[in-house]
């Protein structure tokens, strides 16, 4: 058994050709999808980077593991306390444990653990290879290391290799030598000048006037593909071209990796999964070049699985709603391993290989057993949000909006409105009521199954707020006033959130899990 997981950071599925994108960003991944299974309804349970990979590596929702932030409270998994054995749960029940139980040699090529000081992610690997570049390396550097590893170890049986590429992540920094593959190609129809102009007046980090955070960051000038403002449609073009070029560059390097498998005669003996930790907002909700919310665009990830000899029908499309750790549980099951009972992920391998709808090469609907009825999705590093994805709807409950000015509840018809331009909460109160009831039940159940009993999102709110939004509030209000957004400054001046130093800029009334 040989498995490769190509983990392409910040990869939106709808910017891949096999998911319908009109720009040729992904010929290699497209060809992989043609000989495998493509999943269209996979979401990371927790975003962004650290919470997502913690959920994947623990098999648990962030509300259970305790990791939902990027710094400050609720960034690391909760200590196990008296329950901690000689070896931690991450070692004995983490994502590598079932593979190790199968006798597989596990290896990772990634700078993620160092970048985020998230060394719990490395638990269970026999080898962890780190370029030491903290996510600023390019895919060619990573793939060269992977090629070397495959040349040395690929002929051995029973191994797993995690290959992590950062290239679509901001700042957009594909080497200049790669050129401009999308120069002159059309932008998406929805993002017009009128939309951009309306976004120009919105507040918040990575809004149109401040693509580098809450304000200018001179260090970003070193990356010419990355604009600092969306002041014109030319800037919007640079944003889209910069992101898509990063996707295409990563795809080319995946081609190098798969070429090495061919050269070694391993293609028909190696399963390959391509996925990501989260997506990237490119104007949706007025956010550019980042991933800050529990919305469809940030939480939805691609999942393409090619597995020779596993009785999967080539070209299958599964449209069921799945968490990313469901896909991982399915991979463990397909490999012949046992899915740990403490995981929140559940396998649907039988439906892929045993005559279920996907195995018959049908489109799998959400009413089939391969998908869940709903998903609950969380974000705690920029905003503090939870959302419920069900039927055609996405309902977002906001507890801290990172100065974006979001209402407490948003509702989007993501099938008719995939770019989240029209809030339907006032028109469809019954959908909102259903979503909030689902959220309340889910929260109660998840906390009952945790060993700490405290909602980490509440710890974020009472401990100074989401890490990336712990700013000098007075400074940002002055910036808003100086940049034509004084009305937002006055609205924020009277609002309530925990302050950056733990003192109260304003107050929260109670744990978010108690609201329905």
Q: Please give the CATH number for the structural domain made up of 375-514.
A: 3.30.1120.10
Give the closest residue to 17 by CA, choosing from 37, 33, 39: 33
> Cβ contacts of residue 296 below 8 Å, gap of 6+?
389, 394, 412, 414, 418, 420
Contact 239, 282 (CB under 8 A): yes
- What's the confidence (pLDDT) of residue 498? 53
Instruction: Give CA–CA dist 50/46, Å, rounded.
Output: 9
Run of H or E including 147: helix 139-153
Q: What is the pLDDT of residue 494?
A: 72
pLDDT of residue 497: 59
Placement of tokens 């869940």 in the chain: 372
Please state, in angstroms and rounded to a whole number, the distance separating the CA atoms of residues 242 and 225.
Answer: 5
| Averaged pLDDT for residues 381-389 | 97
Q: What is the topology classification, in CATH, of domain 2-187+236-372?
A: Alkaline Phosphatase, subunit A (3.40.720)
109, β-bridge pairs: 129, 163
Q: What is the pLDDT of residue 363?
A: 42
Q: Smallest Cα–Cα separation from 30: which of 255, 292, 207?
A: 255
Residue 516 has pLDDT above 50, yes or no: no
Give the HSE-up count for residue 386: Cα atoms under 13 Å, Cβ half-sphere. Answer: 28
Integer Cα distance of 167 and 135 in angstroms: 9
Percent pLDDT > 70 in the chain is: 92
Examine the pLDDT at 467 and tell me if it is beyond 80.
Answer: yes
For the cut 70, the answer to whether the pLDDT of residue 439 exceeds it is yes
- Overall average pLDDT of the 344-356 stretch: 81
Look at 311 and 391; give whichever has higher pLDDT. Answer: 391
pLDDT band at 354 (very low <50, low <70, confident <90, very high): low
HSE of 151 in the Cβ direction (CA atoms, 13 Å)? 8
Q: How confident is the model at residue 94 (pLDDT cuts 50, 70, 90)?
A: very high
The band of 510, judged by pLDDT with boundaries at 50, 70 and 90, is: very low
Sign of CA dihedral 169, 170, 175, 179: positive
Least confident of 33-47, 138-152, 327-341, 463-477: 463-477
How confident is the model at residue 63, as a pLDDT? 98
Return the closest-CA partner of residue 459 out of 508, 388, 496, 406.
508
Q: Which two tokens stand for residue 360?
A: 């018959």
> pLDDT tens digit string along 112-171?
999 999 999 999 999 999 999 999 999 999 999 999 999 999 999 999 999 999 999 999
**Is the predicted pLDDT of residue 240 greater than 70, yes or no?**
yes
69 phi/psi in degrees, rounded to 5: -120, 180
Q: Helices 473-482 and 486-493 meet at what angle, rounded to 10?
A: 150
The predicted-structure confidence for 481-491, as pLDDT tens digits, reads as follows 999 999 999 99
Residue in the block written with tokens 């939480």:
299
pLDDT (mean) for 349-371: 55
Tell me the mean pLDDT in the region 450-454.
Answer: 89
Helix ranges (DSSP H) in 375-501: 429-448, 456-462, 473-482, 486-493
Q: Does residue 401 surpass a pLDDT of 50?
A: yes
pLDDT given at position 92: 87
Listed in sequence order, the DSSP H helices in 217-344 are: 233-263, 296-299, 324-334
Looking at the chain, the whole-number percentage of residues with pLDDT higher than 90 is: 83
The full set of domain ranges for the chain reads: 2-187+236-372, 375-514
Question: pLDDT band at residue 379, thresholds of 50, 70 and 90?
Answer: very high
The pLDDT assigned to 438 comes to 98
- pLDDT at residue 292, rounded to an integer: 97
Residue that is written with structure tokens 């489109």 in the block:
363
Sign of CA dihedral 328, 310, 103, 160: negative
pLDDT for res 514: 28
- The reported pLDDT for the residue numbered 232 is 98
pLDDT at 489: 94
Residue 71 clears pLDDT 60, i.e. is over it? yes
Of residues 56 and 357, which shows the higher confidence score? 56
The pTM of this model reads: 0.94
- The gap from C-alpha 390 to its chain's centroid, in whole angstroms, comes to 18
Q: Which two tokens stand for residue 303?
A: 């999942």
Q: Which two tokens stand for residue 449?
A: 């199954």
């Amino acid at each position: 058994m040989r498995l490769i997981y190509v983990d392409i950071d910040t990869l939106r599925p709808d910017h891949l050709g096999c998911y319908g994108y009109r720009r040729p960003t992904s010929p290699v991944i497209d060809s992989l999808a043609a000989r495998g299974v493509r999943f269209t309804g996979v979401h990371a349970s927790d975003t962004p980077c650290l919470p997502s990979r913690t959920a994947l590596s623990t098999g648990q929702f962030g509300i259970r593991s305790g990791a939902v932030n990027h710094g400050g409270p609720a960034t690391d998994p909760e200590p196990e306390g008296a329950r901690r054995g000689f070896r931690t749960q991450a070692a004995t029940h983490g994502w590598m444990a079932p593979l190790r139980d199968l006798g597989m040699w596990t290896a990772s090529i990634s700078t993620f653990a160092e970048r985020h000081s998230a060394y719990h992610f490395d638990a269970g690997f026999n080898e962890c290879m780190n370029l030491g570049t903290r996510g600023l390396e390019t895919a060619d550097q990573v793939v060269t290391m992977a090629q070397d590893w495959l040349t040395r170890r690929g002929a051995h049986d029973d191994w797993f290799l995690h290959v992590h590429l950062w290239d679509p992540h901001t700042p957009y920094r594909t080497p200049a030598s790669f050129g401009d593959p999308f120069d002159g190609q059309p932008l998406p129809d929805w993002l017009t000048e009128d939309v951009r102009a309306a976004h120009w007046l919105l507040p918040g980090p990575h809004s149109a006037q401040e693509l580098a955070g809450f304000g200018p960051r001179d260090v970003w000038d070193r990356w010419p593909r990355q604009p600092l403002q969306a002041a014109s449609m030319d800037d919007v073009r640079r944003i889209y071209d910069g992101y898509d070029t990063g996707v295409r560059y990563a795809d080319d390097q995946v081609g190098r990796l798969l070429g090495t498998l061919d050269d070694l005669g391993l293609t028909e003996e190696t399963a390959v999964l391509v996925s990501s930790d989260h997506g990237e907002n490119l104007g949706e909700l007025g956010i550019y070049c980042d991933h800050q919310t529990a919305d469809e665009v940030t939480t939805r990830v691609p999942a393409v699985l090619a597995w020779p000899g596993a009785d999967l029908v080539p070209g299958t499309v599964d449209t069921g709603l799945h968490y990313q750790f469901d896909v991982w549980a399915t991979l463990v099951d397909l490999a012949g391993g046992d899915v740990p009972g403490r995981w929140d992920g559940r396998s649907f391998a039988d439906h892929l290989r045993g005559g279920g709808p996907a195995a018959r090469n049908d489109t799998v609907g959400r009413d089939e057993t391969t998908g869940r009825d709903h998903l609950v999705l969380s974000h705690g590093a920029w905003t503090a949000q939870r959302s419920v994805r069900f039927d055609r709807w996405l309902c977002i409950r906001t507890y801290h909006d990172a100065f974006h000015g979001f209402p407490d509840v948003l509702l989007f018809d993501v099938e008719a409105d995939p770019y989240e331009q029209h809030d339907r909460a006032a028109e469809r109160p019954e959908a909102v009521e259903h979503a909030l009831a689902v959220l309340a039940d889910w929260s109660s159940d998840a906390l009952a199954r945790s060993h700490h009993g405290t909602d980490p999102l509440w710890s974020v709110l009472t401990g100074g707020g989401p890490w990336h939004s712990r700013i000098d509030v007075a400074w940002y209000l002055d910036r808003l006033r100086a940049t034509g957004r004084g009305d937002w400054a006055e609205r924020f001046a009277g609002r309530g959130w925990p302050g950056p130093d733990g003192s109260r800029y304003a107050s929260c009334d109670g744990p978010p899990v108690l609201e329905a």
